[in-house]
Amino acid sequence: MSMFKRMLASVGIGAATVDLMLHQDVVNAGDTISGVVRIQGGRVNQQVDDVYAFVMTRYLKEQNDTKTTVEAPVSKFLLAGKFTVEAEQVYEFPVSFQLPAITPVTMGRTPVWIQTGLDIKEAIDPKDQDRLQVRPHPNSSIILEAVDQLGFRLREVTCEYAPYYGRISGLPFVQEFEFVPASQFRGQLDELEIIFYPDEHGVDLLLQIDRKARGLAGLFAEAFDADEHFVKVRFDSNQLASGANYIAGQLAEMIRRYV
């Protein structure tokens, strides 16, 4: 009977289970989140190598004109090391870990969740998923407020496969914020796209400034994407502390160079 139970546990029947109970599910990127991990023993003793948590999201990848959705880890945290989960026993222990500053924001169709699991050799690893509502990192929030002051309207937020630009944060994708001008740059720009790379000392931005085509020369340039400019800029903590009005002025001056 014991051997039969072990065989069932190896395929997940009567095996140990794991549950992460978070203290909060609405957070900012870069926040420290905490909770309690609860492990319920199954019908037999099981050796657990690791208790881990992945911060997960999804991004779009286009290949051969076909778009697919890919699940990807943003980061991984080791919550506990090797130990034995005894049959029918319950284990609870507190955990905390810091979300990366580059954790995607849950806007548009971008989901973020914590996937907690037990690493059990020669068995199906039990997993638990907990959705998070992630708001922008505080340093990114100041930029978003400044862009709003300039009269840009947020049109779309997407995570897309972009290994070249994602390498800065060590990820195969980036999250793009796409804005359209609704006031002062209306008629001059088609759109403004921003990729954020926040950290504790400031934020790096990659701006894609897409000029509005004007005349035949403009249409020709648009056909070859020559009307698009990529601009990198960094705002440090001191600049961000000056507030959104200051940042809006700096961004406006920068955009005017390319329109």
β-strand partners of 35: 22, 95
C-alpha 85/C-alpha 158 separation (Å) is 41
Q: Which residue intervals of the chain bear CATH 2.60.40.640?
A: 2-135
Strand partners, 18: 39
Instruction: Give the model's pLDDT for residue 118.
Output: 86
In the prediction, which pLDDT does 242 show? Answer: 97
pTM for the whole structure: 0.85
Q: In the prediction, which pLDDT does 151 show? A: 94
Domain 2-135 sits in CATH at: 2.60.40.640
Within its chain, how far is the Cα of 32 from the centroid? 15
Angle between helices 138-149 and 244-256 (to 10 degrees): 60
Per-residue pLDDT of the chain (259 residues; tens, 9 = 90+): 343 343 333 434 346 888 999 999 999 999 999 999 998 888 888 888 888 999 999 999 988 888 899 999 999 999 988 888 898 899 999 999 999 999 999 998 899 999 998 887 644 567 889 999 999 999 999 999 999 999 999 999 999 999 988 888 899 999 999 999 988 888 888 899 999 999 999 999 999 988 654 433 333 334 334 445 789 999 999 999 999 999 999 999 999 888 7
**Residue 120 confidence (pLDDT):** 77
Question: What is residue 223's predicted lDDT score, i.e. its pLDDT?
Answer: 38
| Sheet of 90-98, strands arranged across | 17-22, 32-40, 90-98
Cα 152 versus chain centre, distance: 23
